[in-house]
Amino acid sequence: MTQVLLKPGRERSVREGHPWIFSGAIASCPTSAVEEVEVISSKGEKLGRGVYSPASMIRVRMMRGEAASLVRAAVARRQIEPDAAVRLVNAENDGIPGLIADFYAGFAVCQFTSALAEFYRDQILDALMETPGLQGISERLDLDSRRKEGMAVNPAWRNLRGAEPPERIAITENGLKFLVDVRNGHKTGFYLDQREARKAVGELSAGRRVLNCFCYTGGFGIYAAANGAKEVTQVDLSADALELAGQNAALNGVKCAFERADVFKYLRTCRDAGRTFDLIVLDPPKFAETKSQLMKAARGYKDINLLAMKLLAPGGILATFSCSGAMTRDFFLRILQEAAADSGRRFQIAAETRQASDHPVGLAFPEGLYLKGFILREH
Ligand code: SAH
């Protein structure tokens, strides 16, 4: 097998189980093709096996097992109800760098975001097909991560194995129903990672006037309404997301108001009109893709959080999230502290959330924790 030689001192993270080797850590490599390689320390020690990716900054991704058995083991760790939506494989954190596989009521949707995942594509798909209750597998290709690896990004979606999913798959989450568009929706169609936070917000919603910002297909707001919120306003920029959000509300027999607006402007409109809410959800898209965008992102987070804090009625609750991987939990908390200070209001952390447990974090892969959340209550 082709051998990749590391520079002196660059073996530690690999030995600890981190799956990435950046180009700067490599002393020599005799290949420029995507292939399996053996990684060797500067002292000649064998560190393990990986897949070389000449087009990527992450030049080697490590694999500590065989693709099919890693997929089977990941699936076996999940509890899969036939009509549920579950992440089956969470990439690096389940030992398969760059492979996402989500299950939507019998239909799996994959993202192959690394040369490694692409390299083991057939073994991965064969193993995934063994998932109980699975009728078919499709894939999303329209991803920046694929572009960065030099991999095709067209068509945006395609079926790979078995039956094609319906245009909208009906899934059940904590007793609520949602329609998922796996062809055009965000990610693989749904924000599975917020399942536990949606439940937590639902449980705090009874009798409250709720504003759900960046609502996408209505998740947090529908949980709030179903749990007895006094009124629910859902805001998003995307007409497609709002259309599906409306269908989801009807499917669950709940009433919500929908506003197509830019949240940054909408919050200011509410402020100028003197409107208040008892519970506000802020679940924005990734503001920082990379570390270099972090300071600009921080200003964005501070802006919306400060505005939201000021819109809260006394004793109000702010459920606020950051899904930017580059934003650490502590930095996000610091931004919230500054926003609270500027708002002149005092908050306690009623709960802290993170990505749902079917999105585990590899202990050796801190990058795996990307979704942070705080439920703040004024006191
Ligand atoms: N909370 C949702 C997921 C939110 S994803 C859930 O639980 O399913 C982020 C959403 O923000 C997307 O739907 C996107 O359309 C929307 N969005 C992005 N920028 C926006 C802006 N400036 N104003 C309003 N919505 C925005």
Structural domains in the chain, CATH included, are 2-62 (2.30.130.10), 67-167 (3.30.750.80), 191-378 (3.40.50.150)
Predicted local confidence at residue 177, as pLDDT: 98
Candidate from 173, 237, 324 with most ligand 1 atoms within 8 A of CB, to mutate: 237
Kindly state the percentage of the chain with pLDDT values over 70: 100
Predicted local confidence at residue 290, as pLDDT: 84
Sequence-ordered alpha helix ranges (H) in the chain: 12-16, 67-76, 115-119, 121-128, 144-148, 195-203, 219-226, 239-251, 263-273, 294-311, 329-343
Asked whether residue 291 carries a pLDDT value surpassing 90, the answer given is: no
CA of 186 to the centre of ligand 1 (A): 10
pLDDT band for 367, please (50, 70, 90 cuts).
very high
Q: What are phi and psi of 268, to 5 degrees?
A: -70, -40
Give 5-34 pLDDT, tens digit per residue. 999 999 999 999 999 999 999 999 999 999
d(CA 112, CA 141): 8
Predicted local confidence at residue 288, as pLDDT: 86
CA of 212 to the centre of ligand 1 (A): 10
Q: Name the CA dihedral angle for 329, 332, 337, 342, rounded to a multiple of 10 degrees.
A: 180
- Ligand 1 closest atom vs CA 262: 23
d(CA 64, CA 359): 19
- Burial pattern 259-296, b for ≥16 Cβ within 10 A else e, equals beeebeebbeebeeeeeebbbbbbbbeebbeeeebbee
Predicted local confidence at residue 253, as pLDDT: 98
Mean pLDDT of the chain: 97
Residue nearest to atom 10 of ligand 1 (CA): 214
pLDDT, mean of residues 311-317: 98
pLDDT, mean of residues 287-314: 95
Identify the active-site residue in 29, 110, 256, 323: 323
- Is 323 among the catalytic positions? yes
Give 322-343 pLDDT, tens digit per residue. 999 999 999 999 999 999 999 9
Asked whether residue 93 carries a pLDDT value surpassing 90, the answer given is: yes
Kindly state the percentage of the chain with pLDDT values over 90: 98
pLDDT, mean of residues 57-70: 97
Question: In the structure encoding, which two tokens stand for residue 293, read together?
Answer: 């965008």
Residue nearest to atom 23 of ligand 1 (CA): 262
Give 104-162 pLDDT, tens digit per residue. 999 999 999 999 999 999 999 999 999 999 999 999 999 999 999 999 999 999 999 99
Give 151-163 pLDDT, tens digit per residue. 999 999 999 999 9
Predicted local confidence at residue 271, as pLDDT: 98
Predicted local confidence at residue 193, as pLDDT: 98
Tell me, using a 6 A CB cutoff, whether residue 283 lines ligand 1.
yes
Predicted local confidence at residue 308, as pLDDT: 98
Candidate from 210, 213, 216 with most ligand 1 atoms within 8 A of CB, to mutate: 216
CA of 189 to the centre of ligand 1 (A): 13
* Model confidence, pTM: 0.97
